[in-house]
Amino acid sequence: MSPIIRAFFDRPTGSLQYVFHCPVTREAAIVDPVWNFYPEAGAVTTESADEILAYIAAENLKVVWVLDTHPHADHFTAARYLSDKLGAPTAIGEKVTDVQKLWKDLYHLGDDFHTDGSQWDRLFAEGDEFMVGEIAVRVMFSPGHTLASITYVAGDAAFVHDTLMMPESGTSRADFPGGSAEDLWTSLRAILELSPDTRLYIGHDYPDSGAAPEYMASVAEHRLRNRHVKDGIGKAEFIATRTARDETLTLPERMLAALQVNIRGGRLPEAEADGHSYLKIPVGKFDPL
């Protein structure tokens, strides 16, 4: 079964969000939705998620899952907001508990912050399967970008998040806390062993102002021309290239804000006595480029 897929683009963060649905039953799943955050004002808004809601209503879809591929470093997840609106369960990979423990220490969070993944309705493991209508979805554990990254293989499509970029751009960074270029290589090779005609939907693109993003290429296209992992490039060469590239990159603008929301499943920290939530910024724990 081939899912029908609609991509949504958040230009400020270069993030791609997806809705895929079964053409027979019209059951659907949302992947990696964005909850808009404006760091200069400390403001959160829902225009990206509301665009998804409008599409779902227009297409008369029944959303049965709200899925994240990993705890994002560049945007807040809108999974909880959409779950509350649609009554659909949230899910992420089971290794999110390791990310929670890592960032609990980095943020110096108290004992009231739980690192058991209970902020989501379901934690997926390698090889887990579930249905979206008549479309079988399989989970692949795909670490490297983060400790907890997973890929959703839905029929003849796969949502590969921050592993691959478009072939001309190569692959995603692996230098965040808990990241690993070696693990990313292993994950990429597993993805590229899928059927050659599998459509791979990526997590980010950064087009010029006014230009539309690109977001899909087949396994065969990546194996032929992905600049970092095309056939003929070996593990050592990839790790050297990826590591050298990562050493030139600054931290994402929203990372220190985003992770403390995303390890809570898309919730702000508990409001304080004045009714407002406050984000913590660890000072001196990361080096500037």
CATH placement of domain 4-262? 3.60.15.10
Arithmetic mean of pLDDT over the chain: 97
Give the pLDDT score at 55.
98
CA neighbor of 82 nearest in space, from 113, 109, 43, 121: 121
Rounded to whole angstroms, the Cα distance separating 79 from 152 reads 16
Sorting pLDDT into bands at 50, 70 and 90, what band is 1? Answer: confident
Give the pLDDT score at 210.
87
CA neighbor of 35 nearest in space, from 77, 84, 82: 77
Sorting pLDDT into bands at 50, 70 and 90, what band is 288? Answer: confident
* Cβ atoms of residues 134 and 103 within 8 Å: no
Sorting pLDDT into bands at 50, 70 and 90, what band is 289? Answer: low
* Cβ atoms of residues 130 and 205 within 8 Å: no
Rounded to whole angstroms, the Cα distance separating 5 from 30 reads 10
Q: Where are the domains of the chain?
A: 4-262
Mean pLDDT value across residues 11-23: 97
pLDDT in tens, 135-160: 999 999 999 999 999 999 999 999 99
pLDDT in tens, 242-283: 999 999 999 999 999 999 999 999 999 999 999 999 999 999
Cα angle 213, 218, 223 (rounded to 5 degrees) comes to 110
Report the b/e string of 177-202 with b at 16+ CB within 10 A.
bbbbbbbbbebbeebbebeeebbbbb
Q: What pTM value is reported for the model? A: 0.97
Distance of CA 117 to the CA centre of its chain: 16
pLDDT in tens, 50-96: 999 999 999 999 999 999 999 999 999 999 999 999 999 999 999 99
Rounded to whole angstroms, the Cα distance separating 143 from 150 reads 7
**Is the predicted pLDDT of residue 118 greater than 70, yes or no?**
yes
161 DSSP β-pair partners: 202
